[in-house]
Structure 1
């Protein structure tokens, strides 16, 4: 009996231990599904987590009326009538210079004074010719009186008429030369002879260059002072042969002056399109008025311009949806969950952050295109290509 009780106790304990349920093993966390291997060198696959982290957004083309541009270079200029070169009518020595570059001068304002003995000789010739005209006029009157009384010879009357007309021509010619020199005829008629002549500006404007100094001898062909009138500043652009047919009067121009170090766009409008090619290149000159007129630009400044030609409705995408790659560009389209394919396109005009797109492959308007995050997809595509190599 004493052996039976321990055996029963052992049996009960063994039975209890056998019926105790086993603890379940911890379930392994399911791994994120890895992207499938791309089937094309232009295809890339990413997980939904990657797409969310990179901010990939898809959508369709947006049709917009995009303005096409013609690029052209040129400069700020003024019309020929707003530019003057001051020269000496007769050679002489510079006695004084009255202006400096950048100085404003009025029309008729003195810019320099010249002196030379020839100026005195010309005034002397004028006064002598004037006195001789007076004498010949009286001689002609005497011969006319004698002829009327029929006591004078016809030959003497004709000679007097000839001499008087010839001397009058000489006097008028000499007077014209003196006026060209800028001398006062009224003072000369009073007998006041001047040893100097003034050089005056023919227009109102600003002095561009001064090429003389006191004591220098100047010739009639020398340009002594240049003056520019800035009241009619305009653009003079050079447009290439392939683009000139698209440029018309009235088109708006946006231009920049690189030397200003500013990205500010300034405006102008085409008012004249050249009708012949320039001799130095296959370009045509296009002139445009500044809109509005500006006083903070200078003649001769180099400009980079975009002539806005006729617009057309085109398919567009945001600029960051387009991958620039040499001659062509690329966009990405979604072909399935997590799958994207690269398509070749040609870009056009850019306006307000959108760029015109011309697909070079079959790409319907209903295609789901990547509008944001294209650069991430391009990086993943190149990473995969590098890994295969």
Structure 2
């Protein structure tokens, strides 16, 4: 409160001391962004100055990109034998658990498959008994080799058929040991292969699908990663293993940790390199295609910097007051960079090297200059 009152008093003194100035003179001063103070005003402003210094600052590389999923974690689910979709409750974005029924298929071929299996199993029992009988007869020379070999071939053929039919039943998630004369099903369930969420749904109830048709596209979120673009000029500032912090435009306060795992060796037409980062923790709010910003801290380095107090933010830009002489100050635009220990990097600092910059009282100079421009 005391600072506000002090600035108000100083501006009042300034305004009174400039009443005799013409409008034309004030306009010239404001246009050139130069402020001139009398000795009395300078004393009242209690100004201190500072020069650019080389300071250690922690730089932050700001990137952007999208959440992506590797091919092995984007799974297309089909029905092994096709059929009609009897039921499904999946919707895009819905989460599911491993082993959960995500669709029920219905088709005559499921019945036929179980029938073939039961028939083959029954035939195999007879063929096995006949094979062992002919084997004993052949050993005692009571049966010819031809009859024995025929029984053996018949038994092995049926054994192969049964094994193949068992695998076909397992493909549609029907346990062969549960199939019996009194337990033949006309439906087959499709189960979720992992915990995840639905990316896309391509079917509806009643639709017929073939084995090559995709029912759902499912995402395994355990391996979601961030696909970032790094421009050529910053390519040498990143390395595998670097940590980063990511956030969305809608919720910048929510931070997601990550680590760089891969840096592309190709430069695109827009002179950018693809960088892939893993999230340190899986999160249900992260979905493929989501736009995100990322900040990668760069190891400390020397940079030309000024104290935070010297730098003024005004109308979307940053300024400092350069000391021209004892009583004159020029407001100069600066481009700021990273910060460290109360100092801010001046990216275009070379133009101010060796010059005195207002520190304490810089904000008062800004108010006085703008007050002059408005008179």
For the aligned pair, the TM-score class normalised by the smaller chain equals 0.7 to 0.9
* Structure having greater relative contact order (Cα 8 Å, sep ≥ 6): 2
Change in 2 beyond 3 A, CA 1:354/1:362:
closer
Q: 1:225 to 1:56 in 2, by over 3 A?
A: farther
TM-score (norm 2): 0.73
Change in CA separation of 1:94 and 1:186 when aligned onto 2, cut-off 3 Å: same
In the alignment, what sits opposite 1:368? 356
Q: Which residue of 1 aligns with 2:132?
A: 141
The alpha-carbon distance between structure 1 residues 251 and 157, as it changes in their structure 2 partners (threshold 3 A), is same
Structure 2 distance, partners of 1:60, 1:288, is: 43
Q: 2:301 is matched with which residue: 307, 312, 336? A: 312
RMSD: 4.2
190-199 or 349-358, larger mean C-alpha shift: 349-358
Cα shift at 1:52? 7.4
Sort the Cα spacing of 1:295 and 1:143 in 2 relative to 1 into closer, same or farther, 3 A: closer
Distance 2:263 2:166 in 1: 43
- d(CA) in 2 for partners of 1:279, 1:128: 62
Q: Is the 8 A contact 1:54 1:373 kept in 2?
A: no
Q: What SS does the aligned partner of 1:243 have?
A: helix
Write out aligned runs for 1:84-123 (5 A).
84-123=75-114
**Aligned match of 2:167:** 176
Taking the aligned partners of 1:86 and 1:52, their CA distance within structure 2 comes to 79
Given that 1:252 and 1:267 are in contact with CA atoms closer than 8 Å, whether structure 2 keeps it comes out as: no
What's the counterpart of residue 356 of structure 1?
345
Equivalent position to 2:277, from 287, 297, 304: 287
Match of 1:337 in 2: 326
Structure 2 SS opposite 1:348: strand
TM-score w.r.t. length of structure 1: 0.71
Distance 1:162 1:50 in 2: 114
Q: Report the Cα offset of residue 234 of structure 1.
A: 4.5
Mapping 1:1-389, distance limit 5 Å: 44=34, 46-48=36-38, 57-61=48-52, 63-77=54-68, 83-189=74-180, 192-230=183-221, 234-258=225-249, 260=250, 262-264=251-253, 266-277=255-266, 282-290=272-280, 294=283, 296-318=285-307, 321=310, 331-340=320-329, 347-350=336-339, 354-358=343-347, 359-361=349-351, 363-364=353-354, 367-371=355-359, 373=362
Task: Tell me the number of residue pairs that the alignment of Structure 1 and Structure 2 aligns.
Answer: 343
Once the two structures are superposed, residues 131-171 of structure 1 have per-residue CA deviations (whole angstroms, 9 ceiling, x without a partner) of 23223322322332122113433333333333333332222
Q: 1:70 to 1:163 in 2, by over 3 A?
A: farther
**Aligned equivalents of 2:284, 2:54: Cα separation in 1:** 40
The change in CA–CA distance for 1:269 and 1:109 in structure 2 (over 3 A counts) is closer
Asked whether the equivalents of residues 62 and 317 of structure 1 are also in contact (C-alpha less than 8 Å), the reply is yes
3-state SS of the aligned residue for 1:285?
strand
Give the stretch that moved more between structures: 334-343 or 211-220. Answer: 334-343
**Unpaired runs of at least 5, structure 1:** 1-29, 385-389
Is the radius of gyration larger for structure 1 or structure 2? Answer: 1
- Could you list the runs of 5+ residues in structure 2 that have no partner in the other structure? 1-16
Q: CA deviation at 1:76?
A: 3.4
